[in-house]
């Protein structure tokens, strides 16, 4: 009988993709789980800085805003869901206005116009990570993936989230558990 995982147990957890995860959306990624409940989970990929491409004729002011955000720093590919929707991951002490999701003691998530404008204008205090899109899981999907050894679960650490070089984030996340990348197999299973 497989162990059961508590719903909401992964909020504020980093997920480091195991070598067996070969899908293009998540291979080699580190994801911060921002919300997890019995209905599902959502998170942001932290180590996929993207090249911003905005199609002509896009709706509203998004293209101009995204270009301004990209001029301030990398805009990450946050995941394959709603890939045009911008998010700002930041320190929870910052209250940018609009709704903000408190993730844990080191992270909060905003998608408000006020937060995006503050980042684009260089007025956001402290560290921020801007992403387009998010990663999403249906009810029980994330729990099943963790039990199948698709993800290595790591306590979230703002030093990894905000300060690590994108190419080093996976190594930093796994290393915080004492795991070396070369010591992992691409084969999943349980002993």
The topology (CATH level 3) of 13-183 is VC0467-like (3.40.1740)
Per-residue model confidence as pLDDT tens digits over 128-155? 999 999 999 999 999 999 999 999 999 9
46 bridge partner residues: none
Is residue 101 within 8 Å of 42, Cβ to Cβ? no
| pTM assigned to the model | 0.85
In sequence order, the 6+-apart residues with CB closer than 8 A to the CB of 156 are: 12, 13, 14, 32, 103, 104, 106, 107
- Structure-model confidence comparison of residues 88 and 187, the more confident one: 88
Is residue 89 within 8 Å of 160, Cβ to Cβ? no
Per-residue model confidence as pLDDT tens digits over 19-63? 888 788 899 999 999 999 999 999 999 999 986 555 444 445 566
Average pLDDT over residues 164-179: 88
- Structure-model confidence comparison of residues 55 and 159, the more confident one: 159
Strands, E assignment, 4-162: 13-17, 30-37, 40-45, 49-50, 75-77, 81-90, 100-104, 107-110, 128-138, 151-155
- pLDDT score, position 98: 83
């Amino acid at each position: 009988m497989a162990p059961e995982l508590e719903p909401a147990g992964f909020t504020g957890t980093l997920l480091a993709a195991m070598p067996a995860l070969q899908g293009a959306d998540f291979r080699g990624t580190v994801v911060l789980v921002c919300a997890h409940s019995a209905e599902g989970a959502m998170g942001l990929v932290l180590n996929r800085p993207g090249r911003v491409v905005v199609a002509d004729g896009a709706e509203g002011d998004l293209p101009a805003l995204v270009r301004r955000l990209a001029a301030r720093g990398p805009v990450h590919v946050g995941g394959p869901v709603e890939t045009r929707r911008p998010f700002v991951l930041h320190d929870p002490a910052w209250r940018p206005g609009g709704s903000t999701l408190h993730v844990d003691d080191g992270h909060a998530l905003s998608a408000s116009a006020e937060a995006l404008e503050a980042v684009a204008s260089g007025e956001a205090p402290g560290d921020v990570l801007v992403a387009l899109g998010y990663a999403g899981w249906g009810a029980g999907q994330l729990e099943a993936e963790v039990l199948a050894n698709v993800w290595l679960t790591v306590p979230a650490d703002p030093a990894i989230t905000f300060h690590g070089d994108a190419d080093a984030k996976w190594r930093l996340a796994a290393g915080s558990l004492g795991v070396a990348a070369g010591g992992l197999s691409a084969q999943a299973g349980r002993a």
